[in-house]
Amino acid sequence: MAEEPCQCSDCQRFYKQHDRLIREFPTFKQQQELNWASIQSFRTLCNKVTDELQRELSERESNELTCIEKKHISDLEITEAIDELENVNAHLYSIEVLMERIFETKISNHIESKFKEIANELAPDPLNMDRLILNRLFHQTPDSPDKKNIN
Ligand SMILES: [Zn+2]
């Protein structure tokens, strides 16, 4: 018997996001670009925040009389965040190096059509009319013992 996938709110959010990314980026090339952009934007943002925190920390060191209201984030909190973000940045950099290799792969139009076809099976448009009709029919079926577990 196959195990039911977890239905907690985090997992459901993940399934939804996962399917949306397949539906909206159904080709190999689109997935390459999406993942590249996603790693780059994550890295840009983490780098920028790290720089900003470092700047703030050194500003505090050079001016110990910083007005107390400005210190709503403690020095320790900043130092710990910088350490963690630097780790994340190092990991993101490694992922980027691997992604570059994936990025070099080219796929023919025939295979791209296959990608689209499979994407459509994996993550059909939830607002697609056929699907809505099918869902409605399904939910009207009386005495279906497993109906709330399937969708
Ligand atoms: Zn879960």
- Reply yes or no on whether the pLDDT at 20 is more than 90: yes
Q: Please give the distance, rounded to the nearest whole angstrom, from the Cα atom of residue 16 to the centre of ligand 1.
A: 13
Amino acid at position 27, single letter = T
Give the contacts of 23 (CB within 8 A, at least 6 positions apart). 119, 123, 124, 125
CB 36 within 8 A of CB 103: yes
DSSP for 7-50 reads -SHHHHHHHHHHHHHHHHS-SHHHHHHHHHHHHHHHHHHHHHHH
Q: Please give the distance, rounded to the nearest whole angstrom, from the Cα atom of residue 22 to the centre of ligand 1.
A: 20
Q: Please give the distance, rounded to the nearest whole angstrom, from the Cα atom of residue 11 to the centre of ligand 1.
A: 4
pLDDT tens across 77-115, in order?
999 999 999 999 999 999 999 999 998 999 999 999 999
Question: Region 114-124: what's the mean pLDDT?
Answer: 92
Tokens linked to 93: 């950099």
Q: Please give the distance, rounded to the nearest whole angstrom, from the Cα atom of residue 18 to the centre of ligand 1.
A: 14
- Reply yes or no on whether the pLDDT at 144 is more than 50: no
Burial class (CB in 10 A: 0-12, 13-18, 19+), 31: middle
CB 88 within 8 A of CB 46: yes
| CA–CA gap between residue 71 and residue 68 (Å, rounded) | 5
Q: Please give the distance, rounded to the nearest whole angstrom, from the Cα atom of residue 14 to the centre of ligand 1.
A: 9
Q: Please give the distance, rounded to the nearest whole angstrom, from the Cα atom of residue 33 to the centre of ligand 1.
A: 28
Q: Please give the distance, rounded to the nearest whole angstrom, from the Cα atom of residue 147 to the centre of ligand 1.
A: 20
Q: Please give the distance, rounded to the nearest whole angstrom, from the Cα atom of residue 64 to the centre of ligand 1.
A: 46
Q: State the average pLDDT for the chain.
A: 84
Q: What does each C-alpha distance from 99 to 11, 34, 128 come to in angstroms?
A: 26, 11, 33
Considering the entire predicted model, what is its pTM?
Answer: 0.71
In angstroms and rounded to an integer, the radius of gyration of the C-alpha atoms of the chain is 24
Give the contacts of 149 (CB within 8 A, at least 6 positions apart). 4
Angle between helices 9-24 and 109-122 (to 10 degrees): 150
pLDDT tens across 23-81, in order?
999 999 999 999 999 999 999 999 999 999 999 999 888 876 555 556 678 889 999 99
Q: Please give the distance, rounded to the nearest whole angstrom, from the Cα atom of residue 8 to the centre of ligand 1.
A: 4
Structure confidence at residue 147 (pLDDT): 46
- Reply yes or no on whether the pLDDT at 148 is more than 70: no
Structure confidence at residue 151 (pLDDT): 46
